[in-house]
Structures are given as C-alpha cells and as structure tokens.
Chain A
Amino acid sequence: MSLTRAQVEGIAHLARLEIVEARMPVYVDSLSRIIEFVEQLSAADTAGVEPMAHPLADQVQRLRPDAVTEEDRHEKYQQNAPAVAAGLYLVPKVIE
C-alpha cells in the first residue's frame, strides 16, 4: 500500500518528529515501500495462533517488594539536562 503525503505528515505529527520539507518525498517513498514489504505477512495463515509478545514463553514478570531502593541522584542526572532551575526541568511556558 502506498502512503500519501498527508498520511506521512500525520504519522510524523503523532511521532512528534519534524520532517524537513525537502526530505518529505523521500519519507513518503521509503515508508510506502516498507509498508508494502511488510504486507506480505497478511498471506500467512495464523488462524488459532497466539500472538507472541515475549521470546521466553515461561518467563513471568518479576515483582519486587514495594520499597524505596534508589537513592536521590537528581543533581547528577540533571547535569545532562538542557535547562534546569532549582532542581526542576525547564520547558517553554505551557499554560498562559
């Protein structure tokens, strides 16, 4: 299936990605090819087959006691932040 430019723009918006105008035709073309390629799956007979979400069938999600185990290291972590003040991450004003 070929994707339209409008569809690709919609996907880019959902994915919160800005696509430079000049590159848009490349994305429309390559994403169309990828979707066309994966469409061959529709021919596979999967009647009665359970979807596989995890590669080890007998593995169960491990639980741990509901206890605080991590120490507060926000100062170290925030050294990588683009903008911080008083221990808070700064972003453009959200509510006027």
Chain B
Amino acid sequence: MHSLSVTELAAGLRARKFSSLDLTLHFLGRIERLGPQLNAFVTVTADRALADARAADEVLARGEGGPLTGVPIAHKDIFCTDGVLTTCSSRMLSNFVAPYDATVVERWKAAGTVMLGKTNMDEFAMGSSNETSYFGPVRNPWDPSRVPGGSSGGSAAAVAACLAAAATGTDTGGSIRQPAALTNLTGLKPTYGRVSRYGMIAFASSLDQAGVLTRSAEDAALLLGAMAGFDPRDSTSVDRPVPDYVAELAQPLAGVRIGIIREFFGAGLDPAVGKLVRDAIGALERAGARVREVSLPALPLSVPTYYVVAPAECSSNLSRFDGVRFGHRCENPRDLLDLYKRSRGEGFGDEVKRRIMTGTYVLSAGYYDAYYLKAQKVRQLIAADFARAFGEVDVVLGPTAPTAAFELGAKTSDPITMYLNDIYTIGANLAGLPAISIPCGFVTESGRDLPVGLQLVGPHFAEARLLGISHQYQRLTDWHRRLPAEYA
C-alpha cells in the first residue's frame, strides 16, 4: 500500500479496498520501524492520525469526501499545527506548541488528509543538506551516508522512503526542488503568492513559498489544488482563481516551446548529471516539444544576490524571537539585554546566527546601498532575464542541482560551498516564478544509484503548464517510479 501514488490511494479508499485506518496504521508502522534510521520526523502525531483516519472513514462510508479524504501525509515542521509541537527544527522553538493551524495545514485537513507527523528540516529552513537541524541530520533513503538535500530534507526522505504518501515543503532558494532531485521525487515550488504563507514560519518573506513533495506530477497537481488560492490572512496572497491542475495534465507536449538555459550547463555541473538532463531534453524533443537554447546572462549572479536579500529579510523576521513571548529563554538573565542576547545566542544554531549577522551587516548604516540596494537591482536584472526568455519560449529547463546527493559533512566547513548547491534553483525565487523538479535518471557513485532531477521554470502562474509537461514526461519514462530498495 505504501508505494501507491496519492491518486491510486484515493481510488483504493473510494473502492473500499482498504480503509483510511488500515492505511494510516500501515504508514505509522513503517514510520516506527524505518523512521528513526532516517531521522525524517521531529514529531509523529499517531493519535491525531488515527482520529483523522477514523473521521475520514466515516465520511467515505457515507459516500462523501474528495480525492484526498483519508490519504496519509506529513507536514514540514515549519507549518504551524494547532496543539502540536512546531519547532522549525530549532532549539529556539523546541518547546513551541502552535496555537493555530497554518492555512496550508487547514486546507489539507479540510480536504480530508490524515496528518502522520511533522518532518525534520534545516533550522528555520536555512540549509541545503538538512544538517543544520537542532534534531540532527536526515539521511537519504538512497544511501544513508548521504544527505537528502534541504531544507525540506525530512519531507523528502519521508516521501521517498514511502513513510508518507506526500508531504508539504517550503522553498526560499530551492528547499523543495533540490531535496526532490536528491531523493527521486517531484517537487513543486508555486508562484510567489499562489499558496498562503499564513502560519508558515517566515525566513525571507519576499522569497518563501509553500509547495509539495510527491512521487509524481499527477500527485503534485492534486495536492497543489488542495492548498492553493487566495487567503486574506496573507497580505501577499494573490486573489486569482485556481485552475483544475489535474484536468490540465492532459495538455500534449507537441508544440510546447522549451528553452534550455545555456548558463546552467557550464563549469560546476557534474558531467554525469548534465548528460542525464540532456537525455531528457532529447526525449521531450522526440515527443514533439520544440527545444532551443536561451541565455539568461544575469542568472550567474543569483547566488550572491540571494545571500544579500535572504539574510536581510531573515535578520528582520527572526528579530521576533526575543525570549519574551514564546520560544527559548536563557536561565537567570541579568537584565533585558542579557535576556535577548543569551536567549537568541543559545536558541539559534550557527548557520541561523550567521545569516542573521550577514543580514544585519548588509542593512546597517553605510552598507545598505552597497549591498542591499545593489542586490535588489541585480534581482531586477535576473527577473528581466526570465521575462525576456518567456517572450520566446513557454518554459525554461536546466538541471535542478549541480551534483547528486553528497556525503554528510562534505560541505559543512565552508558556507559558500554549501550555498552553491542552490545555484540553479535560486533564480526562480528571486523572480517569484513557479518551478518544478522531476526525476530524470540515476548516476552511480561508490556502487550506489543516486537520483538526478531536472528543473522546469515557467512564467508567473504557469503551474499547470509545468505539471502538464512533467506528467507527459513521466508517461514516457519510469524514473519517478523507482524506489530505494530498502524501502520499496
């Protein structure tokens, strides 16, 4: 049951082949047996899951409910869940019980999903390997000596290992797409404003966006439809109708114009990864897509731009953690300043402190123009590059990450080396564009098969197009169906 897609699970539930309770007990059993070795979950909400499942079964017994009624899922621990520990994988929030549900959580709940638990992540979503978590690193189900990517590493590992049918993630610079690529999943980051950020703990508010990690584009379409849409509680939410993403999957590949991003195939890309992406381009072309090269000359500046903009917003957002109203407070503060400094110094890990300090520096008097304002201007150039490309093609394509999954500890000593993992994903965040990573093959390293992903980026609100191309590609290939042997 655990390897079935969400779409297949929905059909099985409706045909009463199995109940949601059977399904939920099965997944909870797998989480108990296989979860600890991956460290994919921070909190398992077994009682809540069983209650959700029983409620779903009653709905299904009445012949009611939707396609997600009774489907067991997991939420990244960045989403507030009413009455459930919500840690953001930080010591700062290790005692925080959210007093309300995030809109994403509320909508998936209303759609009838069963919440199995909260997944591990890089602390406050700052990382590309899931190694900055206060609760320890997550391991990649394809090779336990390697990282699952980050920051949505727990969600990726959980879905890849079939410990949940699907999971939520968030993507500020690649945190859905890069882990999806490293664990053989489909990972969708929607357009900025498409999905509500209400109740999603903020990192960089002009970049953060919620999305999904699934085992197919079809599942992603189903689950995106259940989370997208206007929310008055998020001031940047866009009031625009949500298309029927599942219906749009049938769009044919023939005639779709795909631009290959020249700048994404240069130095820094593992040639074995590049070859698999080129093979996939060949397959799309044979299926009728019209492929041409496009140049986005400002894109190589996306990483330095991001590492000014994101830390600046982070330093401002994370000033709310002051040891006064919620979160970690130090022992015996001498005075208010000591309370702030020690509560924050103890509550945040090294990478979070580093980003807060980078942001504080680039926003400080005398440096603001040289760093922050300059980065905002380069951000405009990057967005303009994409806009120009979308005048010629429907979507652009490239690799999701420069390499397959790397070993734990391989990139923790130098922050820049770690930051460069997101070199191909950050541009979409800076420009607010929707982007998806889908499996496109495997490389072999040290005798292990490691998954590789390709990325499609589209114009604002082109999620249906991205999902359609991905679905058509997944009808031609079976990379996305492969599961890590130990977890199949």
Contact = CB atoms under 8 A, between A and B. Distances in A.
B305 interface: yes
Interface residues of A, number: 54
A89 B323 CA distance: 10
Contacts of B370: 42
Nearest to A30: B415
Interface residues of B, number: 74
A18 B99 contact: no
Interface in B280-323: 298, 301, 303-305, 307-308, 315, 319, 322-323
Contacts of B380: 46, 49-52
B340 interface: yes
Nearest to A69: B232
B383 A12 contact: no
A89 B339 CA distance: 13
A26 to B, nearest CB: 7
Interface in A20-63: 20, 23, 26-27, 30-31, 33-35, 37-42, 44, 46, 49-56, 59, 61-62
Contacts of A94: 335-336
A61 B235 contact: yes
Given A31-B361, A91-B324, A91-B336, A38 B308 contact: yes
Nearest to B362: A38
Contacts of A13: 341
A94 B338 CA distance: 12
B140 to A, nearest CB: 25
Nearest to B377: A46
Interface string B330-367: 00011111111110111010100110111011101000
Nearest to A39: B304
B381 interface: yes
A23 B354 CA distance: 11
Interface in A62-79: 62, 64, 73, 76-79
B335 A37 contact: no
B486 interface: no
Contacts, number: 173
Interface string B155-185: 0000000000000000000000000000000
Interface of B is mostly: helix
Contacts of A37: 303-304, 307, 416, 419
Contacts of B371: 38, 41
A28 to B, nearest CB: 11
B96 interface: yes
A76 B96 CA distance: 12
A55 B432 contact: yes
A91 B339 contact: yes
A32 B97 CA distance: 37
A31 B357 contact: yes
Nearest to A63: B235
Nearest to B306: A38
Contacts of B108: none
Contact of A40 (B304, B341, B342, B357): B304
A87 interface: no
B192 A64 contact: no
B381 A53 contact: no
Nearest to A33: B416
Contacts of A19: 345, 353
B344 A38 contact: no
Contacts of A53: 206, 376
A16 B341 contact: yes
B43 interface: no
A14 interface: yes
Contact of B375 (A20, A38, A92): A38
A90 to B, nearest CB: 9
Contacts of A50: 377, 380
Given A33-B416, A34-B358, A92-B339, A17 B378 contact: no
A56 B193 contact: yes
A15 B360 contact: yes
B275 interface: no
Contact of A81 (B207, B307, B326): B326
Contacts of A38: 304, 307-308, 362, 371, 375
Contact of B329 (A40, A56, A76, A82): A82
Given A38-B308, A73-B99, A89-B325, A11 B301 contact: no
Given A54-B236, A59-B236, A77-B99, 18 more contacts: A16-B319, A16-B344, A17-B348, A18-B342, A27-B354, A27-B357, A34-B415, A39-B304, A41-B304, A41-B375, A46-B374, A46-B380, A56-B432, A73-B99, A80-B96, A82-B323, A82-B326, A94-B335
Interface of A: 3, 8, 11-20, 23, 26-27, 30-31, 33-35, 37-42, 44, 46, 49-56, 59, 61-62, 64, 73, 76-83, 89, 91-94
Interface of B: 95-97, 99, 191-193, 206-207, 232, 235-236, 238, 298, 301, 303-305, 307-308, 315, 319, 322-327, 329, 333-342, 344-346, 348, 350, 353-354, 356-358, 360-362, 364, 370-371, 373-381, 383, 414-416, 419, 429-432, 460
